[in-house]
Amino acid sequence: MVSLFSTEYVSEKEIRFLRVLERINARISLRKLSTEYKDIIIQEGLDPNGLYSLTELLRSKDLVYVERIKRKILKATEKGVENLELFPEEKLVKYLIEKGSEVYLEDLRRDLGEKYSSLAIGFAKKRGWIKIENNKIYLLNKGSLDIHKKILREALRGVSLDELKEYEEIIDELRRRGLIYIEDEEDVLIEISEKGRKILREASERIMISRLNADMISTGAWRRYILKEYNIDAEPPELLYGLKHFYRDFLENLKDIMISLGFDEIVDEIVIPELWNFDALFQAQDHPAREIHDSLILKAEPADLKIYEELINIIKRVHEDGFDTGSRGWGYKFDPMKSARMILRSQTTAATIKYLYEHKDPPQRAFIIGKVFRHDVIDSKHLPEFFQMDGIIMEKDMNLRKLLGILTQISEALGLGRPLFKPGYFPFTEPSIEGYVRIGDLGYVEIFGSGLFRPEVLRIAGVKYNVGAWGFGVDRLAMAVIGVNDIRDLYTYSFEKLRRMKIASSKTFYR
């Protein structure tokens, strides 16, 4: 038998790769091999993604020549892909032809849009395709952008800049327009060596195999191959057994704790009308949080709220003048049409107030753990979607003292100990309380906001008894408990991080 690391013999895969290189018979890049020659690679039973490792093996045996190079690659942007069918100036030409080769500027801007029209006019005028006189646009000639589109198509597959040197001016134009960009890329050039060609000629005597099958033994074909040595010192591969994702585990344990404390779980939609997300919670319609830069408003038909006509009338009166609550309301003209706008919910309190409206009689204990959506920029502390846990409790003798006792129960069940309470402010509760617990080196961390629903909110829900309400930011709670400093790590793909945080999550609930 030969040594496992012998350079005199090659594996069957290496022979197949050498066969491909001999067939091409020229120096070629690995990138080109795995794309343009992909079919040939697959026909030989090779993986296009595994060519680099095969190249390194063949290089170590001097069976190929290898050269590492750096070059500039053209790539298409999203905007470039959008222009593959028609550039703005081509769309303008098409529009003018349909309209009889002339059109008023105001008609063009109305039909194509102000911004798009200005862009199309600018480029078409520069190319000499149109002229503008007396507030009208006239078509002079059609022109062609076939070369521009050819370059865009080449950029889609990542062509080398060297291959398109003759189109330097067009490439510069496409770059200025943001349709393409240039990226530095490292590549490997490979070519079969004379020694590689010799090995191919003697392939039947030199192919190394690591497994025998019944046919090889019965026919004696095994004698034509070199049998690869077993490396008895090699460690077996580490087998990672499947585990539930640590954050999913955290959420389910949190749910189990709430159910064990006598709470019913609420399940609700994530796409809801503003009626439940804001109006029913006595949040004014001119509040900044209801603008498009904060809330995610859908391009969708308004909700049909006919069955809530009576509720909307009550909300209208409470918002405008306080109705019969003793409040002065917000003092503005309430617009029922805004109540019907569909949004991605920004708070799970929307689900608890709807539940309260449908379950007016005490006692009621309910909670929801669900996703909410905000117009936030992603960083170590913020995500545009995250989990919240909201809860409510309504009983005939409900008061602030009882609410604080329930919140202490929840905190202790989470393994966080007794919380410290501090007065706070929240839009739908009065009085309002913030809850803090000490977590490791982080010190005291706010884990919830709470309070008793305001009289205006109770009037809207049609409830006659005090209601205690609270909300946990679950993502940040998990970060503090499990020891994560970056919120994005809650959704990591790293096996190492996943297993470390699985252990931390388990200790939280099973210590």
| Interval 400-456: pLDDT, tens | 999 999 999 988 888 788 899 999 998 899 999 999 987 766 678 788 999 999 999
Q: Which two tokens stand for residue 299?
A: 């391009």
CA 508, CA 21: separation in Å to the nearest integer?
Answer: 57
- Do residue 318 and residue 461 come from a single domain? no
- Residue at 440 is within a domain: yes
Which pLDDT belongs to residue 2? 40
Nearest to 86 by CA among 170, 149, 138, 131: 149
Q: Which two tokens stand for residue 485?
A: 């400093």
Q: Which residue has the tokens 């950029």?
A: 155
- Do residue 113 and residue 140 come from a single domain? yes
Q: Percentage of the chain with pLDDT > 70? A: 93
CA 329, CA 348: separation in Å to the nearest integer?
Answer: 24
Instruction: Record the pTM.
Output: 0.55
Strands 207-209 and 296-297: unpaired
- Do residue 399 and residue 298 come from a single domain? no
Q: Give the CATH number, domain containing residue 258.
A: 3.30.930.10
Q: What is the pLDDT of residues 154-183, one digit of tens each?
A: 888 778 888 888 888 888 888 888 888 888
The residue among 344, 373, 392 that closes a domain is 344
The residue among 204, 227, 250 that closes a domain is 227
Q: Give the CATH number, domain containing residue 67.
A: 1.10.10.10
- Residue at 149 is within a domain: no
What is the SS3 assignment for 417-468? Answer: CCCEEEEEEECCEEEEEEEEEECHHHCEEEEEEEEEECHHHHHHHCCCCCEE
Which pLDDT belongs to residue 510? 41
- Residue-wise over 185-223: b if at least 16 C-beta within 10 A, else e? eebbebbbbeebeebbeebeebbbeeeeeeeeeeeeeee
- Residue at 164 is within a domain: no
- Residue at 206 is within a domain: yes
Residue 324: domain span: 271-344
- Do residue 138 and residue 200 come from a single domain? no
- Do residue 289 and residue 140 come from a single domain? no
Q: What is the pLDDT of residues 268-311, one digit of tens each?
A: 999 999 999 999 999 988 877 666 547 888 988 999 999 999 99
Q: What is the pLDDT of residues 365-389, one digit of tens each?
A: 999 999 999 888 788 778 889 999 9
* Mean pLDDT on 240-248: 79
Residue with more model confidence, 137 or 244: 137
Output DSSP code: residue 345.
-
- Do residue 380 and residue 462 come from a single domain? yes
Nearest to 196 by CA among 78, 58, 370: 58
Strand partners, 387: 371
